[in-house]
Amino acid sequence: MKHHPLATSARIAVRGLLPLALCLAGPAAQASCGAASCNLLNDRFALGTWEHAGWSVDLRLESVTQDQLRAGTKHISPADLPEGEEAIERHTRNLNLVTTLDYAIDKQWSVALRVPVLSRDHAHDLLDEETGEIGAHEQWRTTRVGDVQALVRWQAPSSTQDFSWALTGGLKLPTGSRTVANGDGSVAERTLQPGAGTTDLVIGASARTVLGLADALNLQLTWTQATGAKDDFKPGRRLELSAGWAHAMSPTWSLLLQANLSQRQRDSGAEAEPELSGSTTLSLSPGASVALGHDDTLYGFVQVPVYQKVNGIQLVPPYSLAVGWTHAF
């Protein structure tokens, strides 16, 4: 049966682009000054419909600059900080390169390895305990491998090119460093480290459907839970829900729009800051993709938070950027 060119384009957009799994780089915390990553539907492993065995790779570059202070649901300035604060958080700039390599064993089973390389720049100013005046300036810069994920995906036997659903399970492994320090020998707090130190269970479910000749819808739910604490630190449970729409403008170009909800509980342990961790964020993520033949896809997104609620006072990004390339061998 011969497919309409736009229908084929819609299938390519879905298979190569929608969702997420995380964007799941490193701790991805939004703590008082912690690291962050994009929450997007954009890798082949998450929602691709496999027709035969084979390899696929997804490379995604994320830019997330956290430079706005927020208390609860409101933006605040350094002048609004309550008395007794020890520091003014200035920024946490994150540039994440996330590589996902996956292998389809057959039409139902596939495995993947997700490796994040995290480049991070954090700065804050210490405050004098007595006067409240700005004192020492501290900064950390590092580029390290974060926590690697090993995943297994099962696709329902009833899945077709027009509709499929799948379950995903795996582990986030403690491969990232927890001892990054600055030039003065001061070790960064746990949420700034490339690794959380814990082994986390990752469970997910996804579905996607092609509507007519040019449209596709995607849905994915991911739950991440640390199996225990490490060195008196346990990251909070993370729940992510993403819904995406793709519209084929031509056999190669597609417009993309996603809604991304991320909810994280408070961190726990003697080395954690539970009062300054945990958040709920709802974002809209418009984007576009272009298919370079049948096996290659380029894509890009701008992620804009439309609702943010944090515990305590935290640094948040006004927006995030992500660009990527997917190739099927």
Kindly report, residue by residue over 259-280, the tens digit of the pLDDT: 999 999 999 999 999 999 999 9
pLDDT at residue 42, as a whole number? 57
User: CB of 284 within 8 A of CB of 310?
Assistant: no
Is the C-alpha dihedral spanning 139, 316, 284, 170 positive or negative? positive
Count of Cβ atoms closer than 10 Å to residue 46 Cβ: 29
Domains of the chain from N-terminus onward: 5-328 (2.40.160.40)
Output phi, psi for 31, to 5 deg.
-85, -170
Instruction: Name the band, by pLDDT with cuts 50, 70 and 90, for residue 77.
Output: very high
Average pLDDT over every residue of 201-206? 96
Query: What would the mean pLDDT of 307-311 be, rounded to a whole number?
Result: 97
Q: What is the pTM of this model?
A: 0.87
pLDDT attached to residue 30: 38
Enclosing H/E stretch for 11: helix 5-17
Of the chain, the percentage scoring pLDDT greater than 70 comes to 84
pLDDT in tens, 160-189: 888 989 999 999 999 999 999 998 899 999
159 vs 312, residue with greater confidence: 312
Q: Which regions of 25-108 does DSSP assign to beta strands (E)? A: 54-66, 68-72, 74-76, 87-104
* Separation in Å, CA 63 to CA 25, 217, 256: 12, 26, 19
Residues of the chain with pLDDT > 90: what percent? 72
Mean pLDDT of 154-160: 86
> What is the tens place of the pLDDT at every residue in 24-58?
333 343 335 555 666 666 555 555 555 678 999 99
Cβ-count burial of 312 within 10 angstroms (0-12 exposed, 13-18 middle, 19+ buried)? Answer: middle
Q: How far is CA 240 from CA 15, 57, 61, 73, in A?
A: 20, 23, 20, 19
- Give the CA distances from residue 89 to residues 22, 59, 71, 122, in Å, rounded to whole numbers and listed in that order: 25, 31, 13, 8
pLDDT tens across 285-306, in order?
999 999 998 899 999 999 999 9
* pLDDT attached to residue 48: 54
Coil/strand/helix, residue 7: helix
- What's the mean pLDDT in 118-146? 91
Per-residue pLDDT band at 21 (split at 50, 70, 90): very low
pLDDT class for 128, splitting at 50, 70, 90? confident
Please choose, from the candidates 37, 42, 62, 57, the residue with its C-alpha nearest in 3D space to the C-alpha of residue 224: 37
Q: What is the mean pLDDT of residues 243-250?
A: 94
Single-letter residue type at 84: G
What pLDDT is attached to residue 19? 39
Determine the Cα–Cα distance for residues 198 and 172; give it in Å rounded to an integer. Answer: 8
As given in the structure block, the two tokens for residue 257 are 């729009």
**Confidence (pLDDT) at 79:** 87
